[in-house]
Amino acid sequence: MTSKGLNTLREARQLSVDLSELLRDPGTSKRFEFTDDLEGLSLDMGRVDPALAFELVLESLVEGILVRGKVAGTYVLGCIRCLRSFERPFELELSEVLSYPDQPGAEEGYQITGDLADLEPVVRDAVLLAMPVNPLHAPDCKGLCPVCGSDRNETDCGHEAARVDLRWEPLEELKQRLSTPGSAPGAERTN
Ligand SMILES: [Zn+2]
Ligand SMILES: [Zn+2]
């Protein structure tokens, strides 16, 4: 990537909203509806499609600006059973306060710097926190065959019967033990 490309990316990451009408004017509020790209949000289980849509109300408080509203977008996830990639739309509620830097404890939370509210940290935290931890592409995903590795949602490889439901494994072991020669019904004492 060229250095120009990097700069463009860095500017695009700045998910910022003009606060000039709201700053230090408690009680005023302003509605924002916009779409913006936020690149590079990913975790082990998937990533966030950069295109996000926002419907926000920013409200001026004594201690800062309250950001309330919705962010909508799409997660691109990897199914934990069959490993296929799939998309899942999401819509999340946001409600966070951006504090003025002179407020006590402001450095521990989200902060206002200048006339622009950088919403990227707020959005990044909310969207990553809500990402499904064990994503399944469908609730009844059959997963991959443990014998041949084929996708059991797509093909019936015939290994189905070899697979034992883990809950029945203790019973399966018992059955095996009972059917070994030493404990076969013929050798059993009946008194
Ligand atoms: Zn799956
Ligand atoms: Zn198989």
Ligand 1 centre from 79 Cα, in Å?
Answer: 5
CA dist., res. 91 & res. 127, Å (int): 9
CA dist., res. 28 & res. 24, Å (int): 9
Residues with CB under 5 A from ligand 1 (ion): 79, 81-82, 137, 141
Contact status, residue 75 vs residue 131, Cβ threshold 8 Å: yes
pLDDT at 106: 80
CA dist., res. 3 & res. 6, Å (int): 5
pLDDT at 180: 61
Contact status, residue 46 vs residue 137, Cβ threshold 8 Å: no
pLDDT at 18: 87
Contact status, residue 132 vs residue 74, Cβ threshold 8 Å: no
CA dist., res. 119 & res. 52, Å (int): 12
pLDDT at 186: 45
Phi–psi pair at 166, nearest 5 degrees:
-55, -30
pLDDT at 187: 44
Ligand nearest to the CA of 148: 2
Tokens 């230090």 — which residue? 24
Ligand nearest to the CA of 163: 2
Token pair in block for residue 153: 């949602």
pLDDT at 90: 98
Ligand 2 centre from 75 Cα, in Å?
Answer: 30
Ligand 1 centre from 154 Cα, in Å?
Answer: 10
pTM of the model: 0.73
Ligand nearest to the CA of 139: 1
Ligand nearest to the CA of 142: 1
CA dist., res. 76 & res. 42, Å (int): 9
Bridge partners for 92 per DSSP: 71
SS3 87: strand
Residue at 80: amino acid letter: I
Ligand nearest to the CA of 147: 2
Ligand 2 centre from 156 Cα, in Å?
Answer: 7
Token pair in block for residue 99: 């504090």
pLDDT at 120: 92
> Tens-of-pLDDT digits for all 191 residues of the chain?
444 444 444 444 458 888 989 998 999 999 999 999 999 999 999 999 999 999 999 999 999 999 999 999 999 999 999 999 999 999 999 999 999 988 888 888 998 888 888 899 999 999 999 999 999 999 999 999 999 999 999 999 988 654 456 666 666 667 777 776 554 444 444 45
Ligand 2 centre from 117 Cα, in Å?
Answer: 54
